[in-house]
Structure 1
Amino acid sequence: MIAGFDAGSRTVPEAEHLLHTVVRELGLPGDTIGCTHFVPAGAAGDEPHVACSLAVPDSVTPAALSAALSAALSAALPAGWSAEGAALAVAEHEARRGGRVVTFPGRDRLTGVLRVGELRDASAIDRVLLLASPGPPPDDVLVVTNDHVRPVWRDGLMTLLTMPAAGGRITPAEVPNPTPCCADHA
Structure 2
Amino acid sequence: MTTPHEGPGGHTVIGVAAGSVNLREADHLIRHLADVLDLPAATVACTHLVRTTARPRTAVSFALPDAEAATAAWDRLLARLSPEVTTGPGGAGLDSAGLAGAGLDGAGAALGPDAHGPAEEARSATAAAAEHTLRSGGRAVLYPGADALTGTVALADLLARTAIDQVVLVGAPPATDGDGPDPHIAVRTRDHVRPQWRDGRLVLDLTPAPGGTLAPFEVPNPTPCCADHP
Fold agreement, TM-score > 0.5 = yes
Q: Secondary structure at the match of 1:27?
A: coil
2:184: which partner in 1?
Answer: 140
Equivalent residues in 2 for 1:152-167, closer than 5 Å: 152-167=196-211
Match of 1:118 in 2: 157
CA distance in 2, matches of 1:59, 1:159: 28
Task: Name the CA distance, whole Å, in 1 between partners of 2:219 and 2:24.
Answer: 13
Which residue does 1:182 correspond to in 2? none
Corresponding position of 2:142: 103
1:64 aligns with 2:76: yes
Residue of structure 2 in register with 1:85 after alignment: 124
Q: Which has the larger radius of gyration?
A: 2
Identity of aligned residues (%): 43
Unaligned runs of 5+ in 2: 1-11, 83-95, 109-120, 224-230
Match status 1:50 vs 2:58: yes
Structure 1 contact 22–68 (Cα < 8 Å) conserved:
no
Out of 103, 111, 132, the position equivalent to 1:76 is 103
Do 2:132 and 2:138's aligned partners in 1 also have CA atoms closer than 8 Å? yes
Tell me the equivalent position of 1:183. Answer: none
Distance 1:37 1:172 in 2: 19
Q: Give the corresponding residue for 2:36.
A: 25
Determine if contact 1:98/1:152 at 8 Å carries over to the other structure.
yes
Cα distance in 2 for partners of 1:129, 1:59 equals: 35
CA contact 1:31–1:107 (8 Å) conserved in 2:
no
Tell me how large the CA RMSD over aligned residues is.
2.1
Unpaired runs of 5+ residues, structure 1, are 180-186
SS at match of 1:59: helix
**When the two structures are aligned, how many residues end up with a matched partner?**
176
Decide whether the 8 Å contact of 2:18 with 2:105 is kept in 1. Answer: no
Structure 1: distance between partners of 2:107 and 2:154: 44
Alpha-carbon separation, structure 2, partners of 1:3 and 1:142: 35
| Cα pair distance change 1:163/1:23, threshold 3 Å | same
Match of 2:113 in 1: none
TM-score, with length taken from structure 2: 0.70
1:130 to 169, 173, 191: 169
- What is the CA–CA distance in structure 1 between the aligned matches of 2:101 and 2:211, rounded to whole Å? 47
**For 2:220 and 2:67, how far apart are their aligned partners in 1?**
33
Deviation at 1:74, TM superposition (A): 8.3
Q: CA deviation at 1:171?
A: 0.2
